[in-house]
Chain A
């Protein structure tokens, strides 16, 4: 089945850019998502990208997709303390099912 990998932890200073990386195995993936989980809450969709796109920008968020390397990244510009959360990469594959990565905990230091 699909395998989705993320690094566990990222620490940045307030105002810096954060880059969260994700790799996946299924080359037939159609849509790729980033979800955010704040403490004590469920997951909320942050952004997504179609598999035929290389980049998507949405305000402070930039998603980059390298299909050849099966690599997805989320860049958060001007990171704020309110961005501290767990970020999950999710890949939509066969049967429209989502496979989630292990999550990256982003800590933003003031």
Chain B
């Protein structure tokens, strides 16, 4: 059974703090993703990684950075949290397949920045 876990379900941080969101998958997937989910906007891709130490910007990378030092772990970093980064953050992983593939999601981290 594929498992994608995220370090926290709920997180409350203050404006200006550095925030780390961790994601771990146990299926040896090459590709990992970070999304944010906001009502009515669906899932928006922040960053993705297709291999260790590799990263690509998604649609909304501003204010975020990522780290992939090990294949199973993908971290999202908010260098200086702001209130407009209050959101649900979802991590996902999938194998590197050319065709049909399922993207597996973690349970999400609800981040509130005050």
Contact = CB atoms under 8 A, between A and B. Distances in A.
Interface of A: 1, 4, 6, 8, 30-31, 35, 40-45, 48, 50, 88, 90, 96-98, 100-103
A48 B4 contact: no
A100 B105 contact: no
Interface in B37-51: 40-43, 45
B61 interface: no
B99 A42 contact: no
In this complex, the interface size class of chain B, counting residues with CB under 8 Å from chain A, is: 20 to 34
B62 interface: no
B1 interface: no
A8 B40 contact: yes
Interface in B11-61: 35, 40-43, 45, 59
B56 to A, nearest CB: 9
What is the predominant secondary structure among interface residues of chain A facing chain B?
strand
Interface string B96-107: 011111110111
Nearest to A103: B42
A8 B59 CA distance: 21
B98 A42 contact: no
Contact of B105 (A1, A4, A42): A42
Contact of B106 (A1, A42, A97, A100): A42
Given A8-B40, A96-B101, A100-B42, 6 more contacts: A30-B99, A42-B92, A43-B43, A43-B92, A44-B105, A102-B42
B90 A98 contact: no
B41 A40 contact: no
A102 to B, nearest CB: 4
